[in-house]
Structure 1
């Protein structure tokens, strides 16, 4: 297409007229474009090339010497939009009379209330504004519902563009979402969004999950699945924040050596907290705080790389709970600080290491934001949901030998009384409830005289008086004000469990959830929901949820289950290596029937033993574990301990995050019920999810269980070669040992093998 000079009189008259139609201006310009295409003045591809060329030249003219870094996606789209409009008016002014232009304007105005036909070709949908696509796609959806089959192709095209612009750019998600989401669903989400860009993977996942459940053929699912009041910030605002605060240079952080990232992060984090949010967000955020009206809320990440179908980034960004019990201005300040915290976490060394491990560090990350109102009950000064938890529709392992011997688990749930943070983070001595969905049986460790030791004892709540999130003892919850305690707790009397009475206190209570599991339909409903989501997403899924129990009509509660997050499960290749039968002379080192992974085999060079003792510096131990993990990156090794890995508190567990151990082939945890050293199954925690996503196997060993074996002489006789890798300070020597697999009693190699066919996980030595 040749550029031609302006017909100046026509051009300026058209510009002047368009200024009188501020709302319809975009639609008038689209109609002008369609006329030019119909009359073959140019093709869409020709004008797209010219618009792009002019946009690039305009960047140079405006002094952008590195446009990719200096101008975010929102700025680039705005630039393209303005140049495109100018070119369309220019070409139209040279091809048609002003009277023809006025006819086009009048046609748009006259047909505005009800349009029988779209005003632009659907093959031109990429050029249209989002508002125009919504307006006409909604009409197409109404026509389709009325039986007009001719609109289906156009409707599908419109949905594709709207999902990509408003929800997620993941092509696999778009293909699935088109089957379930109506244009009206996408429109309602867009009405809750502020700023530019899609809402990101996590938000898109729970929007799709909510729609699937609300459209279920099962009335029980429809009546139980409730919506959560949510607001969204488009992912393009992240780039705008960086540009506004001169932070674009910190992308280089992703390519620095690991330790240098850790050294720089406190300074970078401070720069983010001092940064100003884009000005276009201030008034909408103030409006959101007004609509929330003093209720607690949570701010979650929703980046474009999170929770995708192909290579999901999962649970690496931490959410921020805002109690919101002050003034609206204080609530706004807390919300803005939480958003800046979400943005800063993109450059957290833990997150960068995770993206490196998944080969995503070269893919630019853009952070969307979810703002969700927390639903719950007020019990005294405390506010919390009745239940919060995590569930998977299909497990990637067979957790216990008591299930079907050669089949994976059909799914499980891990839940707690109170806020979900207590279920998602591992603690040194607390035990969230773990239930298999197919067979909801309370684990044997929760029964007998030691049940109190293996139960949840702390509850995460929002203290409305102190305006803080706190962990409180279950005994601090007054039973007479909390009817759900009848189904969550039992009292321990004389070594036996008895039902809690309304008038009793919870000073001797144990959270067994016995009546919830056996006397209500909670597990059945959750299992049905997981099956429905599994089918809707067309692959296994994992969800986070919260539950409100109502006792309005009966002594048996009804449930309102809110889906807070839903993502497809992606099994990494590192956990999919088909095992071979061992050959030659073998000696078993460790064997267990718990948490068996199908078709896994890895060669192991070192066993790293972590044995904390005394009153040690937990930050220091974490640093040396992380350093050793980095030094052993080129070797294959496993961590071994009697303590829980990945705890979030300062108790007796090992406080590390997944990035501190991410190069390991497996984590082996030893439990001994006789001594009370029992490690809970971490399935559902963020730590465990991170491990599985990057291919680290979790191997629990329960002493005293049938067919459990461990060769203690290996630990007693193999030399400690830790000094070959790190120089431990005196206070940590003996706490971390590196034992080579080669050379033990003449054996040459150590192999980790897990197979459903065998029904066990074995580490064995071969000559």
Structure 2
């Protein structure tokens, strides 16, 4: 610490309330934080009372921070302001509340705090007690306060005790052996005397140094003997898991249930529904296994918890199927406390407090993100990261976000936080640097606008959302310079996008790709995953073979070991360079294209990724159906999973489940009634199938439409300007809005649609994608993608219109005052806005008949 603590002027001096103690410490200084290390809290209480009385007589403002489980140190008096704070709300909420209280009370206030050791009961992590002190102590020092704290040293690790000692200005031990009580200053910043740091006994109000070494040695020997009967100086977190091991060994049901609940509440989640699942499906052995694979302490986060619970559901409820067909996971976890430790270690807590304020929520995010990207890791974390890399060797790894709220019921955070692939090649120090960079990137993604807007919309902006990390070995094989899984996909147990009336929504759906699963969860430029309804896997939503080929996968994502990055390659290129891709199990030879290629002197055969061999010749569909149904039954809620496939020589797949979360669905209301006859002049559009959201019954008061004729003539930069302008319009007004545009909303490729961010359109009620002829813009049935997940979570209805199809009518000219003869080609002219409050549209859909209509009701 630095400051003016050594100034001996009277106005900088403060009394402890005991003149004898003032003599020992040479008084207190403005800015002092005083830590009392005690074995009996009554010894701390004895020194608190005269300090408060002295401060009150001097006219000081005194704040008592009340958070402990012990009886109050101070009772209400006119000159004492008691602030009760709930430590159970978590480290961030608690520390943030204390920070704001200090801000509110301002300079010169005096503080008395409860015993810091009681925070262990709320947080179960000793390191965070030290981090709390490292945050609060410097702030108190800056504001010219004097603050008193107590702790029980035998309940904390040496690392925590050392960090508190390094941070505070004054530290005093109170030694008690029976009736023999002595105080011993351990630290008194900018003060010194020949006897200051000796033990002192109180004699008639004075504190006399114990100058006889024999006397001091006897006391110390007695204290050491007493200490032998106490637990060693282990971190509270480690002691908690020692109790898990003891409960497991003892086999006592009541004790096991109690310790299991304690661990689940500090390791898995705070959400009651997730805790119920964990209680049913995670055993004490599972919890010890998690701890063995964990760096640091705290929560493993929603993504990691969801994966582990899902795997346990399968192995518990369907052991005969999944013992052999579910690949073991090899995951590691960076606990949520490491995120807070990173903030504290890099002095970023003040920046985070500014960002957490109402005015700084978005404004301060970029600065905090920059600090996260530039930060260094605490030494104890860095050592564990080195060991993690030793474990994985040179297999590629994936660093995935796993925040506290992520992948929970109602809050998937799909695509809001980053995940980073690492090829994990090269010297150990280079691989460590890359891993640290990936972790920083995930940490910084908590400050992205998309993530912040998402949190605010759900009322989570002031809730604790620490970032844990799930680190996984990438499932796959080496193919020369490339590394990739055989196939990957997203599966959902409820198909609310059934495009055929015979399809059963309860049968589920899958989006399947060859290579890395990035192409299954994102809306990819100019490429498409294979979408299958699991009850009719051979039926595709295409009108002819050309369309089926056109809207299939042509590009593969793989890790390029020579480039050191995730890269995308045409299937045709990889088939030329790699001889052992499992094409015969995932695709079919296009004979017509192969003959043409042969005539042109190109390499043959030409493969098409239809995935039909996987459907026809293996048990893939039945296994995935079993997986989804078993997980839905376990969760008692529809689920959304991510998986990879590993094919044996016969093409038979085993699955590696890498993610599971509750699937957000739009309304399960009674079937809506569509009028039997809708006059043509009142019909805006109608379709059979190609909509999402189940039963829909909405009154539309505003329509924002992008004119494809104008949009197709704009430059790329102008199309991004259209996206920006739409975001501005959507954010103005509270009317129920329907957004209509050509091709794909949210694409990153403007030639395929409108490149809006989801945050720009999150307030619309209905999103309509139209297959417009100009610009070749076609809706993407990207079921399971992050964009799709955003739609269902925010209860935005989705409609895909194919005007040239036989079951679709689209009549934009029915919109009042529409201009179909626009000559001024500009971003503003591409956007047409219709205020329909006087004559609103009605959007009605029936999930049973798969019929949807949008019409003027009057």
Instruction: State the TM bucket, normalised to the shorter chain.
Output: 0.7 to 0.9
SS at match of 2:716: coil
Is the CA contact (8 Å cut-off) linking 1:608 and 1:640 kept in structure 2?
yes
Is the CA contact (8 Å cut-off) linking 2:665 and 2:793 kept in structure 1?
yes
What does residue range 694-709 of structure 1 map to in structure 2 within 5 Å?
A: 694-709=794-809
Is the CA contact (8 Å cut-off) linking 1:476 and 1:506 kept in structure 2?
no
Q: For residues 492 and 470 of structure 1, what CA distance do their matches in structure 2 show? A: 26
Please give the TM-score of this superposition, normalised by the length of structure 2: 0.70
CA 1:577–1:603 in structure 2 vs 1: closer, same or farther (change >3 Å)? farther
SS at match of 1:494: helix
Residue in 1 that maps onto 2:313: 212
CA 1:674–1:523 in structure 2 vs 1: closer, same or farther (change >3 Å)? farther
Q: For residues 664 and 283 of structure 1, what CA distance do their matches in structure 2 show? A: 48
Q: For residues 560 and 179 of structure 2, what CA distance do their matches in structure 1 show? A: 69
Is the CA contact (8 Å cut-off) linking 1:596 and 1:760 kept in structure 2?
no
User: Once the two structures are superposed, what CA deviation does each residue of 1:693-712 show, in whole Å capped at 9, x if it has no partner?
Assistant: 11111111223444422223
Q: For residues 363 and 84 of structure 1, what CA distance do their matches in structure 2 show? A: 30
Q: What is the CA distance between 1:599 and its match in structure 2?
A: 3.3
Residue in 2 that maps onto 1:749: 840
Q: Is 2:695 the counterpart of 1:599?
A: yes
Moved more, 433-442 or 201-210: 433-442
Q: For residues 662 and 754 of structure 2, what CA distance do their matches in structure 1 show? A: 29
User: Once the two structures are superposed, what CA deviation does each residue of 1:352-411 show, in whole Å capped at 9, x if it has no partner?
Assistant: 11111112112122111111111212223211111111111123x24213324xx63421
User: Once the two structures are superposed, what CA deviation does each residue of 1:699-738 show, in whole Å capped at 9, x if it has no partner?
Assistant: 1122344442222322584369x9xxxxxx9731222221
Q: For residues 684 and 253 of structure 2, what CA distance do their matches in structure 1 show? A: 62
Q: For residues 656 and 712 of structure 1, what CA distance do their matches in structure 2 show? A: 22
SS at match of 1:461: strand
What does residue range 384-403 of structure 1 map to in structure 2 within 5 Å?
A: 384-395=484-495, 397-403=496-502
Number of residue pairs the alignment of both structures matches: 671
CA 1:288–1:104 in structure 2 vs 1: closer, same or farther (change >3 Å)? closer
User: Once the two structures are superposed, what CA deviation does each residue of 1:512-570 show, in whole Å capped at 9, x if it has no partner?
Assistant: 1111111111111111111222222232211111122121xxxx223231111111224
Q: For residues 311 and 156 of structure 1, what CA distance do their matches in structure 2 show? A: 28
Residue in 1 that maps onto 2:611: 513
Q: For residues 538 and 653 of structure 1, what CA distance do their matches in structure 2 show? A: 37
SS at match of 1:660: helix
Structure with greater Cα Rg: 2
SS at match of 2:507: coil
Aligned match of 1:338 in 438, 441, 453?
Answer: 438
What does residue range 271-350 of structure 1 map to in structure 2 within 5 Å?
A: 271-309=371-409, 311-350=411-450
Residue in 2 that maps onto 1:163: 264
Aligned match of 2:829 in 731, 734, 744?
Answer: 734
Q: For residues 47 and 717 of structure 1, what CA distance do their matches in structure 2 show? A: 67
What does residue range 561-710 of structure 1 map to in structure 2 within 5 Å?
A: 561-571=655-665, 575=667, 581=673, 587-594=682-689, 595-610=691-706, 611=708, 612-614=711-713, 615-617=715-717, 618-632=719-733, 634-649=734-749, 651-671=751-771, 677-710=777-810
Q: For residues 741 and 497 of structure 1, what CA distance do their matches in structure 2 show? A: 56
Aligned match of 2:632 in 523, 534, 541?
Answer: 534
Aligned match of 1:194 in 295, 308, 319?
Answer: 295
Is the CA contact (8 Å cut-off) linking 1:491 and 1:508 kept in structure 2?
yes
Q: For residues 72 and 515 of structure 2, what CA distance do their matches in structure 1 show? A: 55
User: Once the two structures are superposed, what CA deviation does each residue of 1:405-425 show, in whole Å capped at 9, x if it has no partner?
Assistant: xx6342111121111111111
Is the CA contact (8 Å cut-off) linking 2:482 and 2:558 kept in structure 1?
yes
Q: Is 2:322 the counterpart of 1:221?
A: yes
Moved more, 481-490 or 751-760: 751-760
Residue in 2 that maps onto 1:253: 355
Q: What is the CA distance between 1:243 and its match in structure 2?
A: 2.5
What does residue range 49-68 of structure 1 map to in structure 2 within 5 Å?
A: 49-50=70-71, 67-68=98-99
Residue in 2 that maps onto 1:559: 653
SS at match of 1:462: strand
CA 1:242–1:596 in structure 2 vs 1: closer, same or farther (change >3 Å)? closer
Structure 1 portions without partners, runs of 5+ = 1-28, 31-44, 59-63, 110-126, 145-150, 723-728
Q: For residues 533 and 513 of structure 2, what CA distance do their matches in structure 1 show? A: 15
Is the CA contact (8 Å cut-off) linking 2:765 and 2:795 kept in structure 1?
yes
CA-atom RMSD in angstroms:
4.1
Q: For residues 401 and 53 of structure 1, what CA distance do their matches in structure 2 show? A: 71
Is the CA contact (8 Å cut-off) linking 2:523 and 2:782 kept in structure 1?
yes
Q: For residues 128 and 217 of structure 1, what CA distance do their matches in structure 2 show? A: 39
What does residue range 163-182 of structure 1 map to in structure 2 within 5 Å?
A: 163-182=264-283
Q: Is 2:857 the counterpart of 1:760?
A: no
Q: For residues 66 and 399 of structure 1, what CA distance do their matches in structure 2 show? A: 48
CA 1:477–1:338 in structure 2 vs 1: closer, same or farther (change >3 Å)? same
Q: For residues 419 and 479 of structure 2, what CA distance do their matches in structure 1 show? A: 24
Is the CA contact (8 Å cut-off) linking 1:475 and 1:507 kept in structure 2?
no
Q: For residues 73 and 780 of structure 2, what CA distance do their matches in structure 1 show? A: 57
Is the CA contact (8 Å cut-off) linking 1:576 and 1:600 kept in structure 2?
no
**Larger relative CO (CA 8 A, sep 6+): 1 or 2?**
1
Please give the TM-score of this superposition, normalised by the length of structure 1: 0.78
Q: Is 2:555 the counterpart of 1:455?
A: no
Residue in 1 that maps onto 2:23: none
Q: For residues 829 and 605 of structure 2, what CA distance do their matches in structure 1 show? A: 41
Is the CA contact (8 Å cut-off) linking 1:609 and 1:738 kept in structure 2?
yes
Aligned match of 1:357 in 457, 474, 482?
Answer: 457
Q: For residues 227 and 357 of structure 2, what CA distance do their matches in structure 1 show? A: 54
User: Once the two structures are superposed, what CA deviation does each residue of 1:226-272 show, in whole Å capped at 9, x if it has no partner?
Assistant: 123221111122222223333233444355679x93x7655443222
Q: For residues 445 and 51 of structure 1, what CA distance do their matches in structure 2 show? A: 72
Residue in 2 that maps onto 1:203: 304
User: Once the two structures are superposed, what CA deviation does each residue of 1:483-515 show, in whole Å capped at 9, x if it has no partner?
Assistant: 5100222222237999x9xxx956632111111
Q: What is the CA distance between 1:185 and its match in structure 2?
A: 0.8
SS at match of 2:527: coil
What does residue range 714-729 of structure 1 map to in structure 2 within 5 Å?
A: 714-715=814-815, 717-718=817-818
Q: What is the CA distance between 1:343 and its match in structure 2?
A: 1.4
Is the CA contact (8 Å cut-off) linking 2:303 and 2:403 kept in structure 1?
yes
Q: What is the CA distance between 1:167 and its match in structure 2?
A: 2.3
Q: For residues 92 and 211 of structure 1, what CA distance do their matches in structure 2 show? A: 50
Q: What is the CA distance between 1:104 and its match in structure 2?
A: 9.8
Q: For residues 538 and 104 of structure 1, what CA distance do their matches in structure 2 show? A: 51
Aligned match of 1:494 in 567, 570, 592?
Answer: 592
CA 1:655–1:398 in structure 2 vs 1: closer, same or farther (change >3 Å)? closer
Is the CA contact (8 Å cut-off) linking 1:596 and 1:755 kept in structure 2?
no
Residue in 2 that maps onto 1:132: 239
Q: For residues 65 and 306 of structure 1, what CA distance do their matches in structure 2 show? A: 21
SS at match of 1:356: helix
Q: What is the CA distance between 1:186 and its match in structure 2?
A: 0.9
